[in-house]
Structure 1
């Protein structure tokens, strides 16, 4: 039986992936000591074992900027693709935590990588930002005629956490932000022809679905006029996230499968949303694709936002063989975005 024709004229290939995690992993015991919280609560409620931070938890000193981490990941991706950096035709960054409002962090990254005279794009988004970046990169390859481009996702969440705050009386919904997140970056080289890893990016889903719904997460950027307000910089409705994200993940999975005309039995790998160790386990069970190998990383890396899909991809590429298919699902709870992508090894 002949495979159905690819109905989408947009095509690009994943040639390589590079990632960067700052410093040594911080386990739950060390985090509990610094924050003065219960280690057992972190183990049970979050289910994440370790995470990485761009700032020193003891001194509060910032050791890596987002641009530093993204440039390191980008350099590793370019080296792994075995292409001349001069072949990179564009740079796209997806992040929720830029280093500055201006200049855009993506331009600092390009500067560190020695990339000049290329278009740069910065997409400000949460967990869907990396998928949006992949989608834009795929379109630039097909629509603008670029032969290769660099797509990056990363976040430094720890800069929004007040380490001097007394957390003894903090509500679980507030405390979760201190133990859920980590920092990191990832990057991929996209190409017009199947080179390097030669994984076809078959579909990218990115859809806003939050019309009339309250945000599940808010990150404020304080200016001089409002920086002393009593509100916390990061606020999260964790109950809403626990309720809606698993349901949305199942919807994304089946929408992508239907759009691709793939059956669940054809999937070799499944990259589920990476919220926390506990939540990811629950979502993977609900997705119910027993024949597909789960590719997850959040229990070891922490929730580092837009770095996560690239960290999953790095693990995936070490396993994927010719003809195998993979599907990734991502949900952004800030204003409820469905996202995902499909891959096929050539």
Structure 2
């Protein structure tokens, strides 16, 4: 079952959300000067204005780990929800860029939060990992197994990029990765008890649809045997992504609406896929929901992977009112995963 179905168990609430973005925003002028590329190309082709890096752009020094960012986002979410850390019964983290293969980053996050003797789960995935974390949290709460937990998503993408090399003659497919991504984390307190502004997590969707298709994105690990290999750590087929993601987003939208029994006119908010500023605009136009207010952040945060749905959720939580409905769409191009979730204010 890939779409969470109604249950007789507790209603699942999003009590609050939090986020963490490392350092000051890096604008296109600064990034272009550092990489030796054209600022206008970034403005027009990517459409992202700023992004945040866990590494210092000038020195390459790593200043924040993924665990640092996830712990900060989770602490903010708990504080906003008024949730005592002792009440947290589980943690789920979705990421494509863990700090280590072992120990799992989710356990480092638990340690920073002062949490012990609780189940922890780390889901290895790209943009869909955030939705997978919400889906697993939904299952725990709706089944009555737990009452309160943390769903977290985050990525430190710059660990896979050499931001100090001269890219003035790089191929567009290589260059796009250095200007598309950013770093960050987000988190949400998920529980059976409504917060001060009750928001219900009605549905989650997560489905791999890449049978027989080449991956649209690959992130490689390098061990001792292949650390001197000249292949890139991060590669993607941007043309395939640009072609496939808008169509997949439409399919996700209507699948969720059908499962919920909602019409397009019922939606008050749309949280579209956050690939880049330019792609988000194109996808939103393709979805064709003029009455739904768009909640987007990628133009200011860069594509920080699994943090993005939580950053959108945090903004939504400030705006959604009783009786209003919201739908989020996420597409992961690594192996073409459809993902999304639906929320309703009470």
Q: TM-score, normalised by structure 1?
A: 0.97
Q: 1:135 maps to which residue?
A: 135
Check whether the contact 2:215–2:333 (CA below 8 A) recurs between aligned residues: yes
How do 1:225-244 and structure 2 match up within 5 A? 225-244=225-244
Residue 261 (structure 1) shift = 0.3
SS at match of 1:318: helix
Give the gaps of 5 or more residues in structure 2.
Answer: none
Q: Distance in 1 between matches of 2:152 and 2:35?
A: 31
Q: Distance in 2 between matches of 1:141 and 1:253?
A: 25
Q: 1:301 maps to which residue?
A: 301
Residue 236 (structure 1) shift = 0.5
Check whether the contact 2:71–2:109 (CA below 8 A) recurs between aligned residues: yes
Residue 9 (structure 1) shift = 4.2
How do 1:63-142 and structure 2 match up within 5 A? 63-142=63-142
Q: 1:3 maps to which residue?
A: none
Q: Distance in 2 between matches of 1:278 and 1:84?
A: 40
Q: 1:320 maps to which residue?
A: 320
Check whether the contact 2:57–2:164 (CA below 8 A) recurs between aligned residues: no
> Is 1:267–2:267 an aligned residue pair?
yes
How do 1:254-293 and structure 2 match up within 5 A? 254-293=254-293
How do 1:77-226 and structure 2 match up within 5 A? 77-226=77-226
More displaced 10-residue stretch of structure 1: 328-337 or 143-152: 143-152
Q: Distance in 2 between matches of 1:107 and 1:219?
A: 22
Residue 260 (structure 1) shift = 0.2
Residue 83 (structure 1) shift = 1.7
Q: Distance in 2 between matches of 1:99 and 1:37?
A: 29
Check whether the contact 2:34–2:164 (CA below 8 A) recurs between aligned residues: no
The alignment's C-alpha RMSD in Å is 1.0
Q: Encode CA deviations 1:52-97: one digit per residue, 9 max, x unaligned.
A: 0000010000000000000000000011110211110000000000
Q: TM-score, normalised by structure 2?
A: 0.97
Residue 166 (structure 1) shift = 2.9
Residue 227 (structure 1) shift = 1.0
Q: Encode CA deviations 1:187-226: one digit per residue, 9 max, x unaligned.
A: 0000112223321000000001000100000000100110
Runs (4+) off by over 6 Å: none
Q: Distance in 2 between matches of 1:198 and 1:130?
A: 21
Q: Distance in 1 between matches of 2:19 and 2:8?
A: 29
